[in-house]
């Protein structure tokens, strides 16, 4: 499955006139206010978000799963799906693998597939929250934090394997999401679990190639419902500091207690040079893993406002790894991801429109009304023409979802793969 | 304090060219899609929101209050302040009084002041959450729900007084917000408190003029921190049903537990013909009473989407009473209210752009992606030119806050009233 | 698998002396304060809680499932498991079936098995949140609320089937938990979904035998993460009222937004005669389905305080149906359920110790300190000897879990069923 | 106001027989299980909790305050009130002052008053969340974090003053609770605010006497409702680390987002040697400041379980400073505090009953059921006789509240101070 660029151009014909009218109006308006349109469009185009392999099939809940037709049933097909997304949006130029769901058989072949789509391999993800069929030890009571040394060692070895697999593919970072925790008070000794985790992470860190990064994810609850070993950014930050310079905190939008001010966490981490990666999704209640921007787009904008600020003012922080971590079973996964990509681009574009100089001035003067006006002025701007232009410039679709539909891509995927194919993994 | 209409027009000169350009672009775009621009602008202009008298001074928290200069120190000045808001925005054509803070001395004089500003008297609000100096009985342990009959009677009598005061001013509704509840388990018998409340409300309802409505507000917590007698919409709805046809539920955006789906409550109440009033504000944690739209503008839009739907499809529901209930001490209260009014208008305008026919079609087809696209397409549109046009048509300011600042209104208020004037009430 | 009563008595020998000493002390203490010990013990013994068939296997999360050995693989084995629980605790004298997971092949045989354990059939539960293999229509986008009539009809027919199955077994109530809702704003029309649900429930209600009850469960979120059709008690109560006298609200402890005052809901429902059933579990974050009393035992006590009050003072409310709805994969399911049963009995016993006369007096006098003292005095009492006595009187085990372990029951179950047996259903 | 010890003994006569009976039963039971009763009672008696001066008057909410009669109107009277609490409970042997509300006029006289009650001066608290009448600069937009250097300097100087005042009284620690934050997105630059706070704290830290500690409190929201500079333990921990060895994190139970696992935070901080102080209260929704143990006593027990563990196993952590930070207006403040003290002692006693060796064994064996049984066995024990004995041994009251009432202490306070006296401060 591969989309012909010309076909994408064909779908654009229908929208190009309106796009031009809207873009001309907006760029004239913004230029009049002093914005550098070309620079903004370039930044939008350069912003690439990794797609995790598990988002390409229908997700589900503990109450069941409603699958989608034409799901990719192997790694090559998953990369093909990302290729489709990238061809249409030009902002999905990477895939993030999940091991052991995505172990390649033939590394060169897989790299060629990815290369042919212009897709690179972003952070690799280990999995110690489920037991694998071949596993000798069970992670039922934890992995890197487990009271049992032999289980910890199995989990450490798995992470090192993941690094090796990633290394062969050109990945440069390992993401550790640790589900370890407890369902009941007293089930584990908090201090022992934390110390074990620290030591296990150090062992993994010790095997990290020089040019790699280790991302330590945090999450307050689920799948454990009393405690989680790495429950918040403070714990992750502490662990990352104890590991070393190549260890960073990874923020997943859905991994917070109700009402957490996430943008402030982002800001603090960038100030300290420790924001390594970012997982996008949206949620209303918990780790709902809904389409990015579908519930709280203004919060996403505020987060991007801090990200933009940090990328411009915090040289101590590396360029973060971006990934979408959303997956549900009510939408075609590819359409879902295109909506997420659009929401990310939109929030980024609006954040780029915040006049940081005027904002700083208003902040210093405690002109709170003006501060709010400045953010809202950027947010209220309809930036879609900028996103369209960024895509257009790179050969993408003006309206990716419309193009996807008019090109009958899902229909073709079903024809190729069958209606009943099921994505490996979750 | 009264703003000369010509001065407002003068402030518009600076912005009129850009407004025209933006409006022309947008109206052409929307007309091309089949929208009736004139009708939308008329609806926006007709949408009037009441300003509560207590929002005109600086609010505060239990940790203290930082007052603002030039606060209105009596009812006439409060009405003047609403007059300023209305002159600039043309959408603040009503005031909502709080008794006993706002009892008029001379009813005719007060009505004339209001009339001169084009301001009417919306719902009147009783207060049984504080003890008044002259009061014989204390509300420390509740008012309409109190175990003591004599205290309940005092609270009932107060509410009837409020109706009479409102009646003389032309109000047509009474809002009862009941702070009654408990701080500690066991403090009160839930069933007795609820039954007392029901009976007290019926007594008040019995004194309601035929063309009046009774609005019953709900709130989960604060100022009581274990239980509140009317804790949720279900309780309010049940009480309203038991009172009769003129009793309705009033929704205050800030009066919900974390993550509540408020738009669904709005929808249910309108289906049942029981949404009487709506208090606007915004919040991140609890009843934070922040500027409308400053934290969750998309949630506000989703609520307006239900309000628009209900106003068009639920003749069983009366036209709701709108009020802003936000008040803080970090901004000039009048600028704060203008930001709230703008956010309300914006959400309303965007909701009016949702294509209900296409939405219904997508819903029936379970095209979830399309449903989201339709909402987001409306939401992402920059509707500010529509709001500006609605104000312009009625003699308001293109940019109310800029006009307010360039006309030095706060400075003049301070000159008139002094820096230390303090708003009566909260 | 069946426990010999004599074996249970044997296990008691080890604990009987300490039990007697503790019981004698406590009964003397309480008798001295005027409590009727015999009456309390009788109430505790009479309190029977249904075990749902799905709690007998290991539960899990969307991130996977760690199964337990010796799980019951058919309905007969599930009833056997409840028989074990009942033999040991004498408070688990009912099973609650989930259809289609538990459709009997031979009704008489199944009834005999249950009868031999002294176990009856409590409320039957329908399932329209998953697709069955044989189903023609999918519930992916809802069941009783679905925009499609043919899907609603399938769901209605299923519920009527469940009634018929339950009727043959001697059940007297149907529990409807409706997962219907949406993951994304705009996905469904709230009013249509609610009206469809109302009509579907009425159709089911119309088929209810005269001596049956319909329980309508509510839940704010999960498995849908934007909206749920029956999101709160207010919606359930409204639907039950519209169905008729045999329709009731069912409260599940885990189905509430953060910080909800559940005991107040219980109290209101009993006052209105509409509390039909109650599902016990515990949780820290959401619908965590943890062991009853493992996280918030005081909240459970406060709820029982209202239940006891209602059972004594609200003849308008029927005796509620009790069920445990907790299930996880970190404990032996039978031990887990015994811990839940113990916590329920404990909370009930403590609630029975609240001196309602003194409490009423303190409430009327607004002696809040005394109100709290009265509740805490009951709560702080170590009531375990009362629970033990109630079990002992009925032939149960003084320490059910210890007896279960010393009798090697799990080991025997594994021997009988194999290590790999998996419970049907969830 | 001073309670004659003999009078306390007199009030004990009524309860002594029952106490002895209950104590004998319990100590025999526990001794039989291997507990060292004397050691437990000694620990309970040694556990002293500071009373903050502001808890001695009625608190309130932003909606008003219902005062209590006989409140202490000056520092001497506040110390007298703590003296009353200490005489009755023998566990309130310290007062925590709030500056500027409690600046002594005559240090020696004040120290003598305290000494005569056996009361010492615990941590002193600065106040930069309100403007003082004499202040030149306003804290409306922050203090230690303020963008304005002159305001920061005022706030730093105030903290240094507080150290000096505390030093003269024998205090050994300064608690900084920073209300600084924002109400609206964009209002402040997060990084600037954090950096300013860091630098300000370092300046204060630089003036700390060698044997002092600096406690840095955190809180997610209120009085600011968008962001708080020190929003969580992670931020406080980071700041404390950057200050130095004498800086610690202070945990206030009410200062967390919904559902936070506080006991895990406590455990982590003790492991890292950074838990400096602990403020007790209880809450259902936010920082409700309710009586300790009145809402979630099991959570309090779980926290004490970690505190006991840390005090026994973490020599790297200093002995924490304990304080009650609860204050409401529905109870007599002194009775309220006695209920809090009792709940603290109860939780501590139960935590001391947790068999750490058996727990460790069960944890290592992943016997989750047993882990829970061990905690619940301790928690379900009625430990009141132990608390009584600890008080009795030190000359306190068996039933402090009953003694307080039978000795007519509030009546006498009103007689001495008048009904209308109002506590200085909050």
Nearest CA distance, A117 vs chain C (angstrom): 31
pLDDT for res D247: 98
| Four-point Cα dihedral B60, B63, B66, B71, nearest 10 | 40
pLDDT at A278: 97
Write down the pLDDT at residue D425. Answer: 60
Q: Quick one: average pLDDT of A337-366?
A: 98
d(CA D286, CA D252): 12
**What residues have CB less than 8 Å from C396, skipping those under 6 apart?**
C8, C87, C88, C89, C90, C91
HEC string for chain C: CCCCHHHHHHHHHHHHHHHHHHHHHHHHHHHHCCCCHHHHHHHHHHCCCEEEHHHHCCCCECCECCCCCCCCCCHHHHHHHHHHHHHHHCCCCEEECECCCCCCCCHHHHHHHHHHHCCEECCEECCCCCCCCCCCCCCCCCCCCCCCHHHHHHHHHHHHHHHHHHHHHCCCEEEECCCCEECCCCCCCHHHHHHHHHHHHHHHHHCCCCCCEEEEECCCCCCCCCEECCCCHHHHHHHHHHHCCCEEEEEECCCCCCCCCHHHHHHHHHHCCCEEEEEECECCCCCCCECCCCCCHHHHHHHHHHHHHHHHHCCCCCCCEEEECCCCCCCCHHHHHHHHHHHHHHHHHHHHCCCHHHHHHHHHCCCHHHHHHHHHHHHHCCCHHHHHHHHHHCCCCCCHHHHHHHCCHHHHHHHHHCCCCCCCCC
Nearest to A374 by CA among D190, B339, B88: B339
| Tokens at D100, concatenated | 């500027």
The string of pLDDT tens digits covering residues B67-84 is 888 999 999 999 999 999
- The distance in angstroms from the start CA to the end CA of chain D is 23
Query: Could you please report the per-residue DSSP string of D45-81?
Result: HH---EEEGGGGS---BTTB----TT---SHHHHHHH
Q: Does D294 touch chain B (CB under 8 A)?
A: yes
Nearest neighbour of A363 by CB, restricted to D188, D235, D366: D188
Residues 185-204 of D with CB under 8 A from B: 185, 187
Question: Is residue A171 pLDDT above 90, yes or no?
Answer: yes
User: What percentage of residues in chain C have a pLDDT greater than 70?
Assistant: 99
Higher pLDDT, A405 or D60: A405
Average model confidence (pLDDT) across chain B: 96
pLDDT for B424 equals 64
Query: Quick one: pLDDT at residue A66?
Result: 86
Phi-psi region of D228 (alpha: psi -120 to 50; beta: other; left: phi over 0): beta
Per-residue pLDDT band for B425 (boundaries 50, 70, 90) equals low
Chain C: residue nearest A258 by CA? Answer: C258
Number of H helices, E strands in chain D: 15, 11
CA–CA distances in Å: residue C365 to residues A220, B146, B188, B198, D413: 44, 11, 10, 22, 21
How far is it, in rounded angstroms, from Cα D22 to Cα C126?
51
Chains in contact with A, where contact requires at least 3 CB pairs less than 8 Å apart: B, C, D
Structure-token match 């044989």, residue found: C134
pLDDT given at position C184? 98
D313 touches chain A (CB under 8 A): yes
Residue A40, SS3? helix
Burial of C72 by CB count in 10 Å (0-12 exposed, 13-18 middle, 19+ buried)?
buried
pLDDT along chain D (426 residues), means of 10: 90 97 97 97 98 90 86 95 98 96 95 97 96 90 97 98 98 98 98 98 98 98 98 98 98 98 98 98 96 98 98 98 91 97 98 97 97 98 98 98 97 90 67
**Boundaries of every domain in chain D:** 48-352
* B29 neighbourhood in chain A, CB within 8 Å: 18, 21-22
Q: Which residues of C271-284 are buried (b: 16+ CB within 10 A; e: fewer)?
A: bbebbbbbbbbbbb
Phi, psi of D95 (to 5 degrees): -125, 145
Give the residue from chain C lying closest to A129, CA to CA.
Answer: C63
pLDDT tens per residue, range A32-81: 999 999 999 999 999 999 999 999 988 888 888 888 889 999 999 999 99
* pLDDT-derived band at B371, boundaries 50, 70, 90: very high
Can you point out the beta strands (E) in A145-219? Answer: 173-176, 181-182, 213-217
Q: Does B238 touch chain C (CB under 8 A)?
A: yes
Distance from CA of C148 to the nearest CA of A (A): 16
pLDDT tens for each residue of B372-381? 999 999 999 9
What CA–CA distance (Å, rounded) separates C190 from C229? 7
Is the dihedral angle over the CA atoms B401, B406, B407, B411 positive or is it negative?
Answer: positive
What the block records as the tokens of C418 is 């194999």
CB D82 within 8 A of CB D122: no
pLDDT for residue D123: 97
Neighbouring chains of C at 3+ CB pairs under 8 Å are A, B, D
**Nearest residue on chain A to C66, alpha-carbon basis:** A140
| CA–CA separation, A265 and A306 (whole Å) | 10
Tokens standing for D346? 């109860």
A48-352, which class in CATH?
A: alpha beta
pLDDT tens digit sequence for A240-296? 999 999 999 999 999 999 999 999 999 999 999 999 999 999 999 999 999 999 999
How big is the CA angle at A273 (ends A267 and A275), to the nearest 5 degrees?
Answer: 60
CA–CA separation, C312 vs C305, rounded Å?
11
For strands A321-324 and B50-52, give the pairing: unpaired
Of the candidates A191, A187, A196, the residue with the CA atom closest to the CA atom of residue A140? A187
Considering only CA atoms, give the Rg of chain B.
22
Confidence of residue B421 (pLDDT cuts 50, 70, 90): confident
Q: Are C144 and C181 in contact (CB under 8 A)?
A: no
CA separation for the pair A60, C223 (Å, rounded): 9
Which run of H or of E encompasses D173?
Answer: strand D173-176
Q: Does A380 touch chain B (CB under 8 A)?
A: yes
> Distance, in angstroms, between C181 CA and closest chain B CA?
11
User: In sequence order, what DSSP letters do the residues of B377-409 get, joined into one string?
Assistant: HHHHS--HHHHHHHHHHTT--SSHHHHHHHTTH
Model pLDDT, residue A166: 98
| Portion of chain B with pLDDT greater than 90, in percent | 92
Segment holding A271, helix H or strand E: helix A262-271
State the pLDDT at residue D213.
Answer: 98
First to last CA, chain B: 23
Looking at the complex, report in whole angstroms how far the Cα of residue A318 sits from the nearest Cα belonging to chain D.
17
For residue D148, the distance in angstroms to the closest alpha carbon of chain A comes to 8
Residue of C nearest to D18 (CA): C29
Q: Which residue reads 């506040």 in tokens?
A: D78
Beta bridge partners of A51: A95
Question: What is the pLDDT, as a whole number, of residue C425?
Answer: 60
> How far is the C-alpha of A368 from the C-alpha of B401, rounded, in Å?
13
What is the largest distance, in Å, between two alpha-carbon atoms of chain D?
Answer: 66
Residue in chain B closest to C301 (alpha carbons) equals: B185
B203-250 tens-digit pLDDT: 999 999 999 999 999 999 999 999 999 999 999 999 999 999 999 999
Res C308: pLDDT: 98
For residue A391, pLDDT over 80 is answered with yes
DSSP B98: B
Please compute the mean of the pLDDT values over residues A365-370 and round it to a whole number: 97
Q: For residue range B171-185, list pLDDT tens digits in order.
A: 999 999 999 999 999
* Residue spans of alpha helices (H) in A33-61: 37-46
Coil vs helix vs strand at A97: coil
Read off the tokens for B398: 């293109």
Q: Determine the number of helices (DSSP H) and then strands (DSSP E) in chain A.
A: 15, 11
Amino acid B392: pLDDT: 97
For residue C140, how far is the Cα from the chain centroid?
Answer: 27
> B375 in contact with C at a CB cutoff of 8 Å?
yes
- Candidates D285, D346, D369; nearest CB to C259: D285
Flag residues of chain C having pLDDT under 50: none
Would you call D222 an interface residue with chain B, using a CB distance cutoff of 8 Å? yes
Exposure letters B146-162 (e unless 16+ CB within 10 A, then b) = bbeeebbebbbebbbbb
The angle at the Cα of B386, spanning B381 to B391, to the nearest 5 degrees, equals 150
Interface contact flag, D285 B130, Cβ < 8 Å: no
Q: What is the dihedral of CA C116, C117, C118, C120, to 10 degrees?
A: -100
- State if pTM tops 0.90: yes
Whether B98 contacts chain D with CB within 8 A = no
């Amino acid at each position: 499955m591969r989309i012909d660029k010309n076909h994408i151009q064909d779908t654009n014909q229908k929208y190009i006139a309106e796009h031009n009218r809207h873009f001309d109006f907006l760029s004239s308006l913004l230029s009049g206010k002093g914005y550098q349109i070309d620079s903004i469009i370039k930044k939008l185009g350069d912003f690439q978000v990794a797609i995790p392999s598990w988002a390409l099939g229908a997700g589900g809940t503990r109450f069941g799963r409603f699958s989608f037709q034409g799901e990719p049933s192997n790694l090559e097909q998953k990369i093909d799906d990302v290729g489709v997304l990238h061809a249409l949006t030009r902002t999905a130029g990477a895939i993030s693998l999940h091991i052991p769901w995505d172990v390649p058989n033939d590394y060169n072949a897989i790299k060629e597939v990815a290369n042919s789509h212009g897709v690179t391999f972003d952070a690799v993800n280990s999995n110690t929250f489920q037991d694998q069929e071949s596993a000798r030890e069970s992670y039922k009571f934890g992995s890197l934090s487990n009271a049992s040394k032999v289980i910890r060692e199995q989990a450490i070895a798995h992470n090192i394997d993941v690094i090796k697999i990633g290394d062969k593919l050109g990945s440069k970072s390992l993401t550790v999401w640790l589900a370890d925790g407890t369902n009941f008070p007293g089930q584990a000794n908090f201090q022992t679990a934390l110390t074990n985790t620290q030591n296990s992470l150090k062992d993994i860190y010790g095997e990290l190639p020089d040019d790699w990064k280790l991302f330590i994810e945090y999450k307050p609850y689920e799948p454990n419902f009393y405690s989680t070993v790495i429950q918040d950014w403070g714990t992750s930050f502490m662990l990352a500091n104890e590991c070393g310079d190549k260890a960073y905190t990874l923020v997943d939008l859905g991994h917070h207690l109700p009402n957490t001010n996430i943008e402030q966490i982002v800001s603090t981490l960038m100030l300290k040079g420790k924001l390594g990666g970012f997982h996008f999704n949206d949620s209303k209640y918990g780790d709902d893993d809904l389409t990015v921007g579908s519930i709280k787009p203004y919060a996403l904008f505020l987060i991007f406002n801090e990200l933009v600020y940090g990328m411009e003012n915090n040289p101590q922080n590396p360029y973060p790894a971006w990934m979408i971590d959303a997956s549900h079973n009510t939408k075609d996964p590819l359409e879902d991801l295109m909506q997420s990509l659009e929401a990310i681009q939109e929030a980024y574009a609006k954040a780029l429109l915040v006049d940081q100089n005027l904002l700083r001035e208003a902040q210093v003067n405690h002109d709170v009304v003006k501060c709010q006006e400045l953010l809202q002025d950027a947010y209220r701007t309809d930036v879609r023409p900028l996103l369209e232009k960024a895509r257009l410039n790179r050969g993408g679709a003006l309206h990716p979802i419309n193009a996807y539909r008019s090109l009958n891509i899902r229909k073709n995927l079903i024809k190729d793969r069958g209606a009943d194919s099921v994505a490996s993994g979750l």
